[in-house]
Amino acid sequence: MKYIFVFLLLFSSLNATKIADVSSIIGVRENQIIGYSLVVGLKKTGDGTTSKFTLQSISNMLKAMNIDMNPIDIKSKNVAAVVVTARMKPFARQGDKFDVVVSSIGDAKSLEGGTLLMTPLKGVDGKIYALAQGSLSIGGRNERGAGSESHPTSGVVYNGGIIEREIYSNLFNQQYATLSLKESGFKNAVAVQNAINKFYATQVAVAMDSRSIKLKCPKNRSMIEFLAEVQDIDMNYKPKDKIIINERTGTIVAGVNIELKPVVLTHGDITIKIVENKQVPAPAGAMKVDNNLVIGLNQDEVYTKNGTTTVANLVRSLEKLGASPKDIISILEAMKSAGSISVDLEVI
């Protein structure tokens, strides 16, 4: 049986960052828009006759062009029904162009080589805010920026969207604005408030709760100038620690300073013992892994130096003992349930 001995040492750190990196301005945001349309010009890789909505859509399109065609009589496989999604940037103006993401909703095998027909893009209120049309790129990035080469039923029309209706915002004439922290925390809200008030040497910011900071524009500045200055102010920010696990790929992302609390856990032939405030010297001849990690003579014990006990040390220890990514993920999840890990554990 394998044993891992690690020892607890608590510490925290503050990072200097700009207010713009940790907050957003309420009202200054992107807006999601969506539409339904057809992609044409496919090489017999479009929707089959089982996608009734595609045949009906083709019939409706032809009818709008004074061609009366019964959906039953349509046999084309060069057309696919798609959903078109996009994001309107803040303060987008008429004529601005943007990328749109096109995704098949039928049984099309591929959208490669297709052309998106003119598509009205609507907001949640049902109003049309943009139009989209153009040639589809399958090999480009998708909406999240990842490659779409392995997903031939989705693609991007670069600069295929054009703004038709603007979302009005009268930010220039406002006297008050509100910042919203990307991660809530009373300490960080107060830190933002104090940094702003120190910069202006007067009370222009008030933390309303753990996430919101209300701002009052000084009389000698416009709101645009004021917000530009506020976003560029440096502050001491304590990021919220978390562990992110991708169970599909076995990837684990964690901060290097996430501490572990005392616990005893057995997983298969691995037993983990975390004890508090004790130093167990490594035996003579033990193999040194790095400055904080030493593996014992039989490679069944792991010691940490300087009393440090972090998730990063634990994961490195488990890897050296031959634990698989699946085993490491199971151990971390069990430790979270047992209370040894106090930070959020996010599984994606």
- pLDDT, greater one: 152 or 238: 152
Lowest pLDDT segment from 69-73, 118-122, 294-298, 325-329: 294-298
* 17 — pLDDT class (breaks 50, 70, 90): confident
Hey, what domains does the chain have and what are their CATH numbers?
15-27+170-237 (3.30.1360), 31-163 (no CATH), 241-347 (no CATH)
Whole-angstrom distance, CA of residue 85 vs CA of residue 101: 5
Q: Output DSSP code: residue 73.
A: G
pLDDT of 215 above 90: yes
pLDDT of 134 above 80: yes
Lowest pLDDT segment from 200-214, 291-305, 334-348: 291-305
66 Cβ contact list (under 8 Å, min separation 6): none
Instruction: Give ∠ CA 135-141-147 in degrees, rounded to 5.
Output: 125
**pLDDT at 178 (0 to 100):** 95
Q: Please give the average per-residue pLDDT across 227-232, as a whole number.
A: 94
Residue 340 burial class via C-beta count within 10 angstroms: exposed 0-12, middle 13-18, buried 19 and up: buried
**pLDDT at 288 (0 to 100):** 52
Q: Please give the average per-residue pLDDT across 215-235, as a whole number.
A: 93
Whole-angstrom distance, CA of residue 137 vs CA of residue 149: 10
For the chain, give the mean pLDDT. 81
**pLDDT at 241 (0 to 100):** 75
Secondary structure class of 314 (helix, strand, coil): helix
Amino acid at 247: E
180-195 burial code (b ≥16 CB/10 A, e <16)? bbeeebeebbebbbeb
pLDDT of 190 above 80: yes
Report residue 71 as tokens.
């959906």
**pLDDT at 275 (0 to 100):** 63
pLDDT, tens digit, 9 for 90 and up, residues 48-80: 877 888 888 888 888 888 888 787 777 788 899
**pLDDT at 276 (0 to 100):** 59
Around Cβ 213, how many Cβ atoms within 10 Å?
Answer: 24
**pLDDT at 331 (0 to 100):** 84
**pLDDT at 197 (0 to 100):** 95
- pLDDT, greater one: 98 or 348: 98
Lowest pLDDT segment from 102-106, 247-251, 326-330: 247-251
Instruction: Give yes or no for a contact between 43 and 100, defined as CB atoms under 8 angstroms apart.
Output: no
**pLDDT at 15 (0 to 100):** 62
Cα first-last separation, the chain: 31
pLDDT, tens digit, 9 for 90 and up, residues 234-289: 988 777 777 888 877 777 777 667 777 777 777 877 777 776 555 555 555 555 55
Instruction: Give ∠ CA 305-308-311 in degrees, rounded to 5.
Output: 120
Report residue 60 as tokens.
């409706």
Q: Please give the average per-residue pLDDT across 142-163, as a whole number.
A: 72
**pLDDT at 136 (0 to 100):** 93
Whole-angstrom distance, CA of residue 210 vs CA of residue 240: 13
Q: Please give the average per-residue pLDDT across 6-13, as a whole number.
A: 41
73-107 burial code (b ≥16 CB/10 A, e <16)? ebeebebbbbebbbbbeeebeeeeebbbbbbbebe
pLDDT of 10 above 50: no
**pLDDT at 164 (0 to 100):** 95
**pLDDT at 19 (0 to 100):** 93
* 135 — pLDDT class (breaks 50, 70, 90): very high
Instruction: Give ∠ CA 119-124-127 in degrees, rounded to 5.
Output: 55
pLDDT of 3 above 80: no
pTM of the model: 0.64
DSSP output for 202-227: S--EEE-SSSEEEEE--TTS-HHHHH
**pLDDT at 32 (0 to 100):** 95
Instruction: Give ∠ CA 240-241-246 in degrees, rounded to 5.
Output: 125
Whole-angstrom distance, CA of residue 3 vs CA of residue 137: 53
